[in-house]
């Protein structure tokens, strides 16, 4: 059965919530990695956005438990130069991650708290 979509969307994607042991440290790491702006520097709910008035943002919230397994949701980034971007992110504190991807055209990295994300190859490649 096909369900028709409404002509006008009433939903706006505000942010992606990321559980964190240290929301401030992880949020600041992602702000540096993405070149984004801090819009809320609360120790329990730290938010960054591409610009203060641009959405969506990333909201880092404190949770008591650690990350038990591979992410159920992850971010993919497409840089102009994959190798240079991977090197830059590693220098910031990311690390290579193996989620069973095998040999691929993308590189899987993890942020300082172990959240996986992918750096895709450039469109030019």
Residue spans of the domains in the chain: they are 15-65, 74-125
CA dihedral 39, 118, 110, 30 (to 10 degrees): -10
The architecture of the domain spanning 15-65 is Roll (3.10)
Question: In this predicted structure, what is the pLDDT of residue 75?
Answer: 94
Question: In this predicted structure, what is the pLDDT of residue 88?
Answer: 98
Confirm if 49 and 18 have CB atoms less than 8 A apart.
Answer: no
In this structure, whether the domain defined by 74-125 belongs to CATH 3.10.180.10 is answered with yes
pTM of the shown model: 0.86
Higher per-residue pLDDT: 21 or 101: 21
Q: What percent of the chain has pLDDT above 90?
A: 73
């Amino acid at each position: 059965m096909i369900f028709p979509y409404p002509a006008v969307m009433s939903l706006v994607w505000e942010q992606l919530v990321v559980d964190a042991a240290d929301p401030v440290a992880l949020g600041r790491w992602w702000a540096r990695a993405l070149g984004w702006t801090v819009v809320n520097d609360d120790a329990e709910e730290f938010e960054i956005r591409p610009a203060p008035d641009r959405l969506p943002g990333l909201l880092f919230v404190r949770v008591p438990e650690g990350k038990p397994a591979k992410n159920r949701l992850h971010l993919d980034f497409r840089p102009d130069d994959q190798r240079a971007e991977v090197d830059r992110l590693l220098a910031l504190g990311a690390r290579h991650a193996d989620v069973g991807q095998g040999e691929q055209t993308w590189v899987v990295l993890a942020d300082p708290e172990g959240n996986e994300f992918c750096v895709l190859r450039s469109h030019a490649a």
